[in-house]
Structure 1
């Protein structure tokens, strides 16, 4: 399982993700981070969770 930037226009996505992924889930909105309980800015890119079969 991977949590990665959802940059589907890249060569990596077409060579390593699309051919081998069992499931792809695109996350709605941008991930937001916090450090020591203090909210930080949202990620500058969309994200996806990729599930691979064994």
Structure 2
């Protein structure tokens, strides 16, 4: 575990992933900026549901 290796507290949070093919958008707004996701336009096998 990375936290143990670096002597940091473990994260109590969790994430939920779904094995479902999806394609990230080419870009999206983030405040006044436009972000371009890594691998946008490519199909990904996992999707973040919560977290």
Between structure 1 and structure 2, the one with the greater Rg is 2
| Structure with greater strand percent | 1
Question: Quick check: TM above 0.5?
Answer: no
| Structure with greater helix percent | 1
- Report which structure shows greater RCO (CA 8 Å, sep ≥6): 1
TM-score using structure 2 length: 0.31
